[in-house]
Structure 1
Amino acid sequence: MSVNKVILVGRLGAEPESRAFPNGGSICNLRIATSESWKDRQTGERQERTEWHRVVLRNKLGEIAQQYLHKGSQVYIEGRIQTRKWQNQQGQDQYTTEIVGNEMTMLDSRGGGGGNQGGGSNYNAGGGDTSFDQRPQQQSGGYNAPQPASSSAGPDYGGGGDDYYDDDIPF
C-alpha cells in the first residue's frame, strides 16, 4: 500500500492564475505560503520559516478558486503531490513538483452575505453537485469533506500557543 496525500492550510502569495484549454478544460495555479515558527532554544528568539507551494486546481474547482480567492486569502487544500517533466526552450528536461488539489475550503470569513459564520466553504474536484469525484475511493470511513481547522491542530514548535499574528504575514 502507498499513500500520496497532502493537506495544506496557508495563504495565497499572488492572485490565482487560470488557463482554459480548447477541449473545454481549465486549470488554476495557486502559490500558497505555509509558515512554521518556534522559539530558538539557545537564543530564545522567535524563528520562522515560510515554505511556498505550487498548487494546481482543475476544471470547476479551479474556476471557483479563480472567482473567490485573492492574494492573502487563507485556504485549506487537500490533494496529492505530482512531479511533471517538461522541456525548456533549449530542449533540456525540467521537472516541476506541485500539489494537485482535489478539495478546497476557503477559510476567510470575509464575503458578503451570509450564512457562513464559521468561515469556510468546502469544494471538491467533482464540483459538489454531482457524484463525480476525481479522488480515489477510500475503502474505509466516510470522509468526504475536511473538518474546519481547530486552533489546537498542528505540531507544537515550542511557541506557547498561537504566537503569530496576521500582521506578520508579508502579503
Structure 2
Amino acid sequence: MSINRVLLSGNLTRDPELRATAGGTPVLSIGLAVNDRRRNAQTGEWEDYPNFVDCSMFGTRAEAVSKHMQKGDKIAIEGKLRFTQWEKEGQHRTKLEVIVEDIEFMAQRRDQ
C-alpha cells in the first residue's frame, strides 16, 4: 500500500485557466506559490523561499470555483500527485502536478 495525499496552502501565481477536455469535462489549471521558510545562513534572518506548484481540478466543481479566484488569492488545497509524460515536437516532456480534490478559499487579494 502507498499513500498519495497532498495538503498545501499558498497564493495563486496567475488567474485560473478554465478549459475542457475533448470529452467536455471542465479542467481548471492554477499555479500555487507555497513558501518554505528558512534561516539565511549569512544574515541569520528568516526568509521565504517560494515553491511553485502546478495544480489541476476536474469537473463541474472546477468550473464553479474558477469564477471566484484570481491571481494573488490565498487558498488551501487537498489532492494527490500525478506524474505525466508526453512527446512534443520530438522532445520528451514530464510534469508533476497536484490533482485537486478539495479547495478552500482563505483570503482574496486586495487591490490597492
TM-score tier (shorter): 0.7 to 0.9
Q: Which structure has the larger Rg? A: 1
- The residue number in structure 2 matching 1:98 is 97
Q: How far is the alpha carbon of 1:64 from its aligned partner? A: 2.3
Determine if contact 2:38/2:49 at 8 Å carries over to the other structure: no
Structure 2's unaligned 5+ residue stretches are none
| Count of residues in correspondence between the two structures | 109
Counterpart Cα distance in 2 of 1:99 and 1:12: 14
What is the correspondence of 1:22-171 to structure 2 with a 5 Å cutoff? 22-40=22-40, 43-89=43-89, 91-108=90-107
Higher relative contact order, structure no. (Cα contacts within 8 Å, ≥ 6 residues apart): 2
TM-score normalised according to structure 2 size: 0.87
Letter in 2 for 1:55: C
Structure 1's unaligned 5+ residue stretches are 111-165, 167-171
Determine if contact 2:7/2:78 at 8 Å carries over to the other structure: yes
Counterpart Cα distance in 2 of 1:2 and 1:21: 29
Q: Deviations over 1:4-31 (max 9, x none)?
A: 0000101101000111234221101000
Determine if contact 2:11/2:34 at 8 Å carries over to the other structure: yes
Counterpart Cα distance in 1 of 2:100 and 2:26: 13
Counterpart Cα distance in 1 of 2:40 and 2:16: 35
Q: How far is the alpha carbon of 1:74 from its aligned partner? A: 0.8
TM-score normalised according to structure 1 size: 0.59
What's the % identity of the aligned pairs?
A: 25
RMSD: 1.8
Determine if contact 1:39/1:46 at 8 Å carries over to the other structure: yes
Letter in 2 for 1:100: I
Runs of 4+ in 1 over 6 A off after TM superposition: none
Which structure is higher in strand share?
2
Letter in 2 for 1:93: H
